[in-house]
Amino acid sequence: MDQKIRWGIIGLGNIAHHFAKDLGLVKDGELVAVASRNKDKASEFAKAYQVGSAYGSYAELMEDKEVDVIYIATPHTSHAELSILCMEHGKHVLCEKPMGVNRKEVEQMIAVAQKQEVFLMEALWSRFNPTIYKVKELVDQGIIGDIAYLHANFAFYALDRDEKSRLLNPDLAGGSLLDIGIYPIFLAYLILGKPDRVLSAANFHTTGIEAQTSMIFSYKNAQAVLYSGLKSKSEMRAELSGSQGSIFIEPRWHEASAYSIEKEGSEERFELPPTGKGYFHEILEVQACLRANKTQSMLWSHQNSLDLIELMDLVRAQNNITFPFES
């Protein structure tokens, strides 16, 4: 694959705009096709980013022989179905997080990827953020000793939004957990692995969606205190503390551009800004995997996605968080 890697995007909301802008910064990748259920929306998007093909149906993009890999940027509830259809058309897939609404969906997606021998990755962009990548490296090197405490949250006020909108609508798998709670859970998993025990509590909104969730992940020698919510904002400064010091990831930590290390009473700050919005880095990972003929990334593997959804399923089960389409 010596030529540019040719991308398509399905679902043209806000995140697709950020992705398209970052893809424009990637030298050996190009956006060649976009699709929306609204043809006018697709045409406007294509015009804004100088895209050659704009489709008014997802199926048309899947059938486009000029597309190598498709980025799925639709609401959670269609991730599995659309990813599977794309892969059955022989396309590689980068699927926005969460990869599926539950473990069953993720398992189905991975099974199809393996059968079709195509690349599949969950678009957990924070894994490829330069600051988070570096912090993970420093922790593994033992720079702050043995980790005993991790704190991460993600919250903003959203209860004034349209009740039919993605975040507040149970029919669209709304709520804080799958949309933003995935980030604190991801960080705890990345740094500490799968916990031995999970404690959690959730409060609900009038539409039936879970509006805030607190979690404690308990490990043999550490604890992670995590939170997500739509009822208020939070500072979003992550803390990792060990036996020899602490690392702080600056707000908003999931898209951080700097971190600091505190040891022996002194603190030193380091800047590692992402390129573009930050989607640039996951795009590079996908393209590196495609050029190496890999069907998954070793930085965020199929097993990582399975582990992550398993943790979210557990928190959901503890708090009876269900969606109408699952019953």
- The residues assigned a catalytic role are 97
Contact 62, 89 (CB under 8 A): yes
SS3 call for 44: helix
Strand residues in the chain grouped as ranges (E): 5-10, 29-35, 53-55, 69-72, 92-96, 120-123, 147-155, 197-204, 210-218, 223-229, 238-242, 245-249, 258-263, 266-271
In whole angstroms, give the CA distance from residue 144 to residue 119.
Answer: 36
Pick from 221, 222, 225, 223: which is nearest to 213 by CA? 225
Neighbour count for residue 161 (Cβ, 10 Å): 14
For residue 113, give both structure tokens: 């990827």
> What DSSP character marks residue 319?
T
In whole angstroms, give the CA distance from residue 177 to residue 184.
Answer: 10
For residue 31, give both structure tokens: 């956006």
Distances (CA, A) of 59 to 30, 35, 50: 20, 9, 21
